[in-house]
Amino acid sequence: MPVRDEAEKIAGEIAELRHAIHREPEIGLDLPKTQRRVLDALDGLPLEISTGRALSSVTAVLRGGRPGPVVLLRGDMDALPVTEETGLPYASAVPGAMHACGHDLHTAMLAGAARLLCARQADLPGTVIFMFQPGEEGYAGARHMIGEGVLDAAGQRPVAAYGLHVTSNKLPCGVFSTRPGPMLAAADQITVTVHGRGGHASQPHRAADPIPAACEMVIALQTMVTRKFDVFDPVVITVGSFHAGTTDNVIPDQARFLATARSYSAAARTALADLVPRLITDIASAHGLTADAEYATEYPVTVNDAAEAEFAVQTIADAFGPGRGETAEFPITGAEDFSFVLEEVPGAFVMLGACPPDRDPQDAPTNHSAVAVFDDAALADGTALYAELALRRLAME
Ligand SMILES: [Zn+2]
Ligand SMILES: [Zn+2]
């Protein structure tokens, strides 16, 4: 029976697991309930299972009956600090926590793929590592799992690694999208504190006002993006938080702001880390102030290996037929910690449309929205793609 049909047959159980995880979302690196559900779903399967030490990860290794290489499949498991407003029957029962990025689907699909692949264990020419990962949303869970040895869990490094991500908008339900090269941006954080000297707002010349200098920095960062970076190697900087002062007639001592910096190449990222702090401290000094500017690297660029991305596109075409896959023209400005895996192992990250059929993908709420909805109809497709990528990649060697 084709893998797709097998996935359809267990779609109800995959949806049940997804809904259970969705109802009780957990945030960060410690997801004990989610981990328990994954372990229960894998119970009885012929897998070597280990759990994380510093985080509630699950690593499962399936050794096929025939010799061959190792392939890694990854699904992330964590939720976001968002209060759900979808009104779905399986909506989050935890105020302030929601699976608004669809990681509940990834977890359930990966568990489904483990079942399908375990059923083919005897004929499997190699080994599959299933990487159930906490802490994607800002906690670098993938880096922690690499540190705890997920890439060596089978005793031999994987030849390829694949990750899937659902999207509540843009792509129609069931349509896959990937591309060779940069797939998602690097995301770094800029933290700035401008130190002035407070005083009476009517006598600014007797104080050292940090606010105009901080405003100048915000504008100068945008000018820097257009003057210092190649337009074909894009950079995005957004100041998302800006705080200073308490009232209209007091000059504060300090102004603080936070920005995110997105880039798509190591060169642009290195230049950002060098230029941003210099621009900030030089503007402060031009006004007789001082400033602390910290450039903290977070997630690297998610770079798809060209051959693996092509293999994924071919697998989608072969397994799902025409019209179900697209090669994305541009990368996405979001970021992913699967990038840490792809720095070590060639592979591909694939997006999967999960927009409900009654919504227009072009204006449906995005991932991370309190009203984002991911349709269960994508579950069998994602499960089948995980399994197909492993089966076909192992058969290639
Ligand atoms: Zn997210
Ligand atoms: Zn995500």
pLDDT single digits (tens) 179-232: 999 999 999 999 999 999 999 999 999 999 999 999 999 999 999 999 999 999
Ligand 2 centroid to Cα of residue 250, in Å, is 42
Ligand at minimal distance from the CA of 166 is 2
Ligand 1 centroid to Cα of residue 350, in Å, is 14
Ligand 2 centroid to Cα of residue 242, in Å, is 26
Ligand 2 centroid to Cα of residue 281, in Å, is 34
pLDDT band at 397 (very low <50, low <70, confident <90, very high): confident
pLDDT tens digit sequence for 287-309: 999 999 999 999 999 999 999 99
| CB of 185 closer than 8 Å to CB of 272 | no
pTM, full prediction? 0.94
Ligand at minimal distance from the CA of 80 is 1
Burial classification of residue 283, based on how many CB atoms lie within 10 Å of its CB (0-12 exposed, 13-18 middle, 19 or more buried):
buried
Ligand 2 centroid to Cα of residue 305, in Å, is 20
pLDDT value of residue 216: 98
Instruction: Read off the DSSP letter of residue 335.
Output: -
d(CA 391, CA 393): 6
Ligand 2 centroid to Cα of residue 205, in Å, is 49
Mean pLDDT over each residue of the chain, to the nearest integer: 97
pLDDT value of residue 181: 97
Ligand 1 centroid to Cα of residue 152, in Å, is 27
d(CA 134, CA 130): 13
Region 124-138: what's the mean pLDDT? 98
Could you identify the residue written with the tokens 């069931």? 174
pLDDT tens digit sequence for 69-121: 999 999 999 999 999 999 999 999 999 999 999 999 999 999 999 999 999 99
Ligand at minimal distance from the CA of 354 is 2
Q: Is the pLDDT of residue 154 over 90?
A: yes
Ligand 2 centroid to Cα of residue 293, in Å, is 28
pLDDT tens digit sequence for 365-386: 999 999 999 999 999 999 999 9
Region 313-321: what's the mean pLDDT? 97
Ligand 1 centroid to Cα of residue 104, in Å, is 11
Ligand 2 centroid to Cα of residue 352, in Å, is 12
Ligand 2 centroid to Cα of residue 180, in Å, is 20
pLDDT value of residue 17: 98
Region 355-369: what's the mean pLDDT? 96
User: 165-194: b or e for each residue (b if 16 or more CB lie within 10 Å)?
Assistant: bbbbbbbebbbbbbbbebbbbbbbebebbb
CB atoms within 10 A of CB 233: 13
According to DSSP, the residues that pair with 254 across neighbouring strands are 195
Q: Is the pLDDT of residue 348 over 90?
A: yes
Ligand at minimal distance from the CA of 100 is 1
Ligand 2 centroid to Cα of residue 137, in Å, is 7
Q: Is the pLDDT of residue 51 over 90?
A: yes
Ligand at minimal distance from the CA of 75 is 2
Ligand 2 centroid to Cα of residue 139, in Å, is 12
d(CA 78, CA 136): 7
Vertex 334 angle, CA 142 and 143, to 5°:
10
Instruction: From 130, 154, 134, select the one nearest 144 (Cα to Cα).
Output: 134
